[in-house]
Amino acid sequence: MSDLSLDKLLKKAENKLQNVHEIVQEKSYELIRQAYKESIFIVITEGFRSIEQQHKLYSQGRTTPGSIVTNAKGGYSYHNYGLAIDIALLDNNGEVDWTIDRRWNKAGEVGKRIGLEWGGD
């Protein structure tokens, strides 16, 4: 369980939160802390994205191979302005777990409680 210490999760978030608005950074750390208390282990998978990166993501599943992952063209995503984060949940072994279960809903509730919008709605 040492791999999933709160300090390690917070440290892991630092890199992904560069160029993210200060208030969003603070709320991201708070989300990780509050969820941790409920045994929900959150990692930030994405923060700021350049408009060029957003264009590339938008073309995925449209003009380039892969699944569609966003409906926002470059310049139309909150990520392009440092105002959004994407998260994933880790299992007890520290591996990303994409299983949609009560933990996701609880993470969303925690986020909304601290003033974030939850894209899962």
| DSSP for 3-52, written as a single string | GG-HHHHHHHHHHHTTTS-HHHHHHHHHHHHHHHHTT-EEEEEE----HH
CA distance 30 to 11: 13
Instruction: Give the model confidence (pLDDT) of 14-25 as tens digits.
Output: 999 999 999 999
Residue 120: its pLDDT value, please? 80
Q: How confident is the model at residue 1 (pLDDT cuts 50, 70, 90)?
A: very low
Residue 103: its pLDDT value, please? 95
Mean pLDDT of all residues belonging to the chain: 95
1-47+82-121 maps to which CATH number?
3.30.1380.10
Q: How confident is the model at residue 2 (pLDDT cuts 50, 70, 90)?
A: very low
List the domain boundaries for the chain: 1-47+82-121, 49-80
Q: Comparing C-alpha atoms, which of 28, 79, 85 is closest to residue 10?
A: 28
Cut 0.85: pTM above it: yes
Residue 3: its pLDDT value, please? 63
Residue 4: its pLDDT value, please? 85
Q: Tell me the mean pLDDT in the region 93-109.
A: 94
